[in-house]
Structure 1
């Protein structure tokens, strides 16, 4: 994943309007973005396709964002190079757990386009 090309994103949020906004922003920036309406759909998408980055809400029905990250850690062969970014208004108290689970970054919700651009620059750097 370098800064020059198109990245594949999986946008996971149970609120359709938020998914739409994130997908539009990413598409305008020249990337490809698929959507998942909850954690269960996210796991199914991750098993079926390859993504560079997952933008993941924490609070969702059926399977929370935290559960999705735990599932990924239990199935390391599914998405080995995936960068996980939690997009949440309530991530503050979860940061230690998220860090321990290997989440790459936290993007506060709501966010501005510049915050997304800064995040993409950060993700383009080698780990």
Structure 2
């Protein structure tokens, strides 16, 4: 879970953990890149508006370094992603989850991502 707002990260991590998944937090895009370089993850829940390195910059970095996380599923979680959907789709973002969202939307999305090949 990558978000610069600590309260949002904590809520998301708890939700993901309650769904039976392990969750790791990153407070901004730079920390996300460091975590992705050090470990393997299946899904990244990523905010767009962050200091040091935005969510879009993280996705671009991943596309420039495909060896880092070739199978990573990227979900942008943002209240402001609407106008950026075409660019995000072009970058290969798997899904956009608009803030605020309901727990069931997250459950459905994680289920969908886990069944995609």
**Structure 1 stretches of at least 4 aligned residues deviating more than 3 Å after TM superposition:** none
Gaps of 5+ in 2: none
Q: Deviations over 1:25-47 (max 9, x none)?
A: 01111110000000000000000
Counterpart for residue 19 of structure 2:
29
Tell me the CA shift for residue 90 of structure 1. 0.4
Q: Distance in 2 between matches of 1:78 and 1:66?
A: 17
Equivalent residue runs for 1:14-93 within 5 Å: 14-93=4-83
More strand per residue: 1 or 2?
Answer: 1
Q: Distance in 2 between matches of 1:57 and 1:27?
A: 19
CA RMSD for the aligned pairs? 0.6
What SS does the corresponding residue of 1:50 show, helix, strand or coil? coil
Aligned residues: 117
Say if 2:79 is the partner of 1:110.
no
Q: Report the TM-score when normalising by structure 2.
A: 0.98
Gaps of 5+ in 1: 1-10
